[in-house]
Amino acid sequence: MGLLSGLSGLGLGNLAKMDIYGDGGKEGEKKKAQEPVKIEEKDLIYDKAYKCPVCDSDFTAKIMKTGKAKLLGQDQDLRPRYDCIDIVKYDVILCPVCGYAALNRFFAGISGAQAKLIREQISATVKVPEFKNETYTYDEAMNRYQLALANAVVKRARASEKAYICLKSAWLMRGYKEYLQNNGVDTREAGPELAAKEEEYLLNAYNGFVDARQNEGFPMCGMDEMTIDYLLAVLAARLKKYDVASRMISTILTSSNANNRMKDKARDLKEQIMADMKNSK
């Protein structure tokens, strides 16, 4: 008859043959538990504590959690692309008290003379905006990068540091434009403006790295000589300086220090340049 056979007379005949030790209502919970948890940008960052080398203030800045974001690929100019987050937004460390800002790589490396220049020319008048959201917006990130560049100029940083800020600022403009497009925002007005800013930053990055390659040693901003040469070739090609790009590519292809992966990338860039030159005629 079954333990629940009496349910038929109560209008619940469809439940009379239930397995009392089966999944029952837990099936839906099990299915829900198996669904992948959606990762958001806020899940991939955290507030890290810093001590400002200029004013000795303690503060926090948002940075990405190591190893948490999935790398999707890399643009030709070495910009990394991650799932659910644009990590470029989180590479500037900014002291909210005195306005000192720098890329994470360079934040602590400042001399007493440089700190004095920043206190005199930045801290005396700067008004640092508050960042209250769970993540940095692109507009907030743009402000942080502009402050980092201003600080680099004031403290008389090396050309490589200023060039790296400009390169990452260009990546930020590109990321901002992609963000707007992916979210269905009309970019007829903002798109050209962001593209123009990207080009301006890339030009300044190129000029800075050319200067740095002639006057500084390696590694440079964490990159070896072959990586810098490849980056210069990419930037030169982007700026239609095809003669410079071709020379840098030749340097890579004939160097015993360049690995096969780098040489393959150089060959791909060479083919692209040849196609671009042919199409421009």
Could you report the per-residue pLDDT of 205-256, keeping only the tens digit for each?
999 999 999 999 999 999 999 999 999 999 999 999 999 999 999 999 999 9
Could you tell me how many helices (H) and strands (E) the chain has, helices first?
Answer: 8, 6
Q: Does the structure show a pLDDT above 60 at 32? A: no
Among 199, 223, 247, the domain-final residue is 223
Among all chains, which residue has been given the structure tokens 């990762």? 39
Contacts of 87 (CB under 8 A, 6+ apart): 64, 69, 80
Q: Tell me, yes or no, whether 109 and 9 share the same domain.
A: no
Query: Taking the model in full, what pTM does it have?
Result: 0.86
Nearest to 208 by CA among 172, 245, 161: 161
- What is the three-class DSSP state of 45? strand
Q: Does the structure show a pLDDT above 60 at 27? A: no
Local structure of residue 220 (DSSP, 8 states): B
- What is the three-class DSSP state of 99? coil
Q: Tell me, yes or no, whether 51 and 166 share the same domain.
A: yes
Cβ atoms 147, 92 nearer than 8 A:
yes
Q: Does the structure show a pLDDT above 90 at 142? A: yes
d(CA 181, CA 157): 35
Q: Tell me, yes or no, whether 215 and 110 share the same domain.
A: yes
Amino acid identity for residue 182 in this structure? N
Write phi, then psi, for 276 (nearest 5 degrees). Answer: -65, -40
Q: Tell me, yes or no, whether 93 and 205 share the same domain.
A: yes
> What is the model's pLDDT at position 280?
79
Range of the domain at 22: 5-34
Residue 230 lies inside a defined structural domain of this protein:
no
Q: Tell me, yes or no, whether 68 and 191 share the same domain.
A: yes
Domain count within the chain? 2
The distance from CA 250 to its chain's CA centroid, rounded to whole angstroms, is 29
